[in-house]
Amino acid sequence: DAKTTQPPSMDCAEGRAANLPCNHSTISGNEYVYWYRQIHSQGPQYIIHGLKNNETNEMASLIITEDRKSSTLILPHATLRDTAVYYCIAPTGTASKLTFGTGTRLQVTL
Amino acid sequence: NAGVMQNPRHLVRRRGQEARLRCSPMKGHSHVYWYRQLPEEGLKFMVYLQKENIIDESGMPKERFSAEFPKEGPSILRIQQVVRGDSAAYFCASSPPSTGAHGYTFGSGTRLTVV
């Protein structure tokens, strides 16, 4: 898996956009970037993934730089229920095993 | 369509006892993965199984830990002679065949406490 680097923690006011960065400078051309989150005491939940184009779904948007060395997960209108640890992952091959780092702990506040 | 079911949610064992953790994958999912999460750490891959086959056990400790996914019934993670260091949350995930990491669905985990 490509090594990913994320800030350990971030705060965001409720209703504002949360922008979570991830560096993956060693990513290879065919490795996707995946984002998962883990709400306290629950199993991880898939959010979004992308290869080189920006992606959007009902949960979030993913912006990948043109050189693919970094990406940003955007939660457009953060709510208190978005408080969680967010993991950026770039698995190699068929992704039979995912490498979860320490992620970014996002705290959404009133 | 039930998600990945893990039981028990909480398990307390004395040192030296055996712990059995069960995981029923989502309907239609034939691949099962086990992960362990120590307090304040990220999830660590343990083992990847398909029906009746261990595909990758590179994350399993060499001793006391074993996993199976029989033809019928849930996947079982077995820890023999538990020690305090085995206390952790154990998560199971399942996926359909030939999917990327977006196809994973995780269960709610089993929290093992060794006293």
> Over chain B, what HEC string results?
CCCCEEECCEEEECCCCCEEEEEECCCCCCEEEEEEECCCCCCEEEEEEECCEEEECCCCCCCCEEEECCCCCCEEEEECCCCHHHCEEEEEEEECCCCCHHHCEECCCEEEEEC
Say whether pLDDT at A41 is over 90: no
- Residue-wise pLDDT for B24-65, tens only, equals 999 989 999 999 999 888 899 999 999 999 999 999 999 999
> A42 and B109: CB-CB below 8 Å?
yes
Question: What pLDDT digit, counting tens, does each position of A44-61 carry?
Answer: 999 999 998 899 999 999
> Which A-chain residues 34-93 have CB contacts (< 8 A) with chain B?
34, 38, 41-46, 49, 87, 89, 91
Nearest to A32 among B41, B55, B100 (CB): B100
Mean confidence (pLDDT) of chain A: 92
pLDDT at position A105, please? Answer: 96
- Interchain contact, A87 vs B42, CB within 8 Å: yes
A44 vs chain B: nearest CA distance in angstroms?
A: 6
